[in-house]
Structure 1
Amino acid sequence: MTHANALTDPDALARNRARAAPDALFLQEIARDDVQDRLELVNKTFQSPAVVTAFPHIWEGAIADAAVFPETETLPLTTGGHDAVIHSMGLHWANDPVGQLIQCRRALKPDGLLLAVALGGQTLFELRAALAEAEIAVCGGLSPRVAPMGEVRDLGGLLQRAGLALPVADTVPLRVQYASMWHLMRDLRAMGEANALTSRLRRPTRRAVFERAADIYARAYPADSGDGIIATYELILLTGWAPDDSQQKPLRPGSAQARLADALRTDETSLPD
């Protein structure tokens, strides 16, 4: 049963993902490749990594010795059992994203690495705008159709709330060309990213809404070539470490042994009170 205040309907999300086409998961593949690149930049060999994902086949053989776990409300991770945890492309659907990160944090050994990838707030802003304008014009009101996704600053703040040290959040913007809005919506269904909001409209949408939205989209967000449309996806990558005494610590305020003005070879000017 879905809680009344839950943003995401887990049953609908599970159905959407069960219908996903294995050859349509290009966003999942991009996220995996980016995680692999970042792990190679870390000067550390991981002995007991874990991956949390709704699409385990994407990660088969991607990270040596990695254990793969399903993306569930209560993650089946072993407390203190992993030196790296990757949470792949699920936080944007999580009803409790902080809780997900806290569970990952608890699964880490001291100085263990968390890497989380999720869709960010700029994702599908074109589709959201076109559908909103069309539905208001045709029906006189709005219904939730695209999940509200977090901005990079907000998601970065979740790392600190989860008790992770050295938090970093950055984005990977992607612009994808489609023949039309209809092709984009088919692709979202094939990726398992169709509407799974608890407050979604439970009856069929009038075709006139989609026809008008497709026209609005084509006029407002054409591809650079003039053939088709552009859709924006934003991957947000969150990095944090389980606290450990070996990690760098910020200096106490006032403990500096040299003046910044001297280092910059400039004169220091006092600000007015």
Structure 2
Amino acid sequence: MSDDPRIFDHRQLARQRQRAEPGFARHDFLFRELATRLLDRLADVRRQFPKAADLSPRAGLLADIRAELDPAVGGMTTLSAAPLLDGDSLVALPFEAGSLDLVLSCLGFHWINDLPGALIQIRNALRPDGLFLGVMLGGETLTELRQCLMEAELAETGGASPRVSPMVGLRDAAGLLQRAGFALPVADAETITVTYADAIGLMRDLRGMGEGNALIARSRRPLSRNVVARASLLYAERFAESDGRIRATFQAIFLTGWAPDPSQQQPARRGSGEVSLTDVFGRSC
């Protein structure tokens, strides 16, 4: 057991992303899909965002997709990028307090150890009534692979090391927004199901995205051929579609929060209602 409160090894994550970078365009479908959905949500907000910051790990991806969709999406005139991670540390954002109208993040938050701290920094960087809109992978992601790897490793070696990252659940995500001080916080989820010929193809895609195992508690030994073979067999037995292809679940959690401002809609003061529920429904017998 370790007293280290961190879950993720960001140096390992950086190495994985660096190795994946040359071929990333062949495996970027999930990033592009969720970036598009994020920008679609932004387009539904009918207001201007003169100064925006992108905190996504893939610098420039949101700006590129935004330009493909519509150069005027969301009314942004600037989209500057900033890193959230430096080695194993959460860095201080290079923005003055109350200086941004909009902060976006696509698929970076599920790797942050201090997620509450990151959200507080973002809220502080926003002007009153500024918007934060992000998407991260949630707790139902890769549930099939998680089950099969754990069972296969237990059967082959008598023990199991964590191979798939733990991720935030939907309810916890909403609570984190509230704790960070966002007004009108909303967390909702969408499920993306991808099919593969086999589990090897799925694992190859994850490596190509730079989304491999970067847990601090991970085993330093690579998976043996026997474990991979057994996990692949279990996957095919339990999670195959009618055409024989296996399915992989990715849960996308979208986070929306506003920096507090007096102009925002406020909940009614307790006891301020003018209609009695007793008058409406009658007294109970």
TM-score norm. by structure 2 comes to 0.89
Matched AA of 1:267: F
Question: Map of 1:192-211 to 2, 5 A cutoff?
Answer: 192-211=210-229
Using the alignment, how far apart are the partners of 2:247 and 2:104 within structure 1? 30
Matched AA of 1:36: L
Structure 1 vs Structure 2: percent identity of aligned residues?
A: 45
8 Å contact from structure 1 (residues 80, 106) kept in 2: yes
Residues 1:248 and 2:268 are matched in the alignment: no
Structure 1 residue 29, shift from structure 2 partner: 1.1
8 Å contact from structure 2 (residues 60, 81) kept in 1: no
> Which residue does 1:232 correspond to in 2?
249
Distance 1:137 1:115, change over 3 A: same
Using the alignment, how far apart are the partners of 1:105 and 1:122 within structure 2? 27
> Which residue does 2:14 correspond to in 1?
14
Residues 1:29 and 2:32 are matched in the alignment: yes
Using the alignment, how far apart are the partners of 2:264 and 2:101 within structure 1? 15
1:222 to 224, 237, 240: 240
> Which residue does 1:67 correspond to in 2?
80
Partner SS for 2:281: coil
Structure 1 residue 64, shift from structure 2 partner: 4.2
> Which residue does 1:40 correspond to in 2?
43
Q: Cα deviation per residue 1:102-133 (whole Å; 9 max; x = unaligned)?
A: 11111100000001210001100000000111
Residues 1:53 and 2:56 are matched in the alignment: yes
> Which residue does 1:183 correspond to in 2?
201
> Which residue does 1:174 correspond to in 2?
192
> Displaced runs of 4+ in structure 1, greater than 4 A?
none
8 Å contact from structure 1 (residues 77, 104) kept in 2: no
Structure 1 residue 60, shift from structure 2 partner: 2.9
Partner SS for 1:87: strand
8 Å contact from structure 1 (residues 178, 230) kept in 2: yes
Using the alignment, how far apart are the partners of 1:166 and 1:5 within structure 2? 30
Matched AA of 2:48: T
8 Å contact from structure 2 (residues 170, 189) kept in 1: yes
Using the alignment, how far apart are the partners of 2:41 and 2:57 within structure 1? 21
2:165 to 121, 141, 147: 147
Using the alignment, how far apart are the partners of 2:278 and 2:35 within structure 1? 44
> Which residue does 1:267 correspond to in 2?
281
Q: Cα deviation per residue 1:217-242 (whole Å; 9 max; x = unaligned)?
A: 0000002x332100000100010000
TM-score norm. by structure 1 comes to 0.92
> Which residue does 1:115 correspond to in 2?
133
Worse overlay, 65-74 or 193-202: 65-74
Distance 1:269 1:195, change over 3 A: farther
Using the alignment, how far apart are the partners of 2:92 and 2:252 within structure 1? 22
Instruction: Give unmatched runs, 5+ long, in structure 1.
Output: none
Distance 1:134 1:112, change over 3 A: same
> Which residue does 1:161 correspond to in 2?
179
8 Å contact from structure 1 (residues 69, 75) kept in 2: no
Residues 1:258 and 2:275 are matched in the alignment: yes
Using the alignment, how far apart are the partners of 2:124 and 2:92 within structure 1? 11
> Which residue does 2:121 correspond to in 1?
103
Q: Cα deviation per residue 1:17-44 (whole Å; 9 max; x = unaligned)?
A: 1122331112211221112111111121
Partner SS for 2:60: helix
Instruction: Give unmatched runs, 5+ long, in structure 2.
Output: 67-75
Using the alignment, how far apart are the partners of 1:85 and 1:270 within structure 2? 50
Matched AA of 1:215: L
Partner SS for 2:262: coil
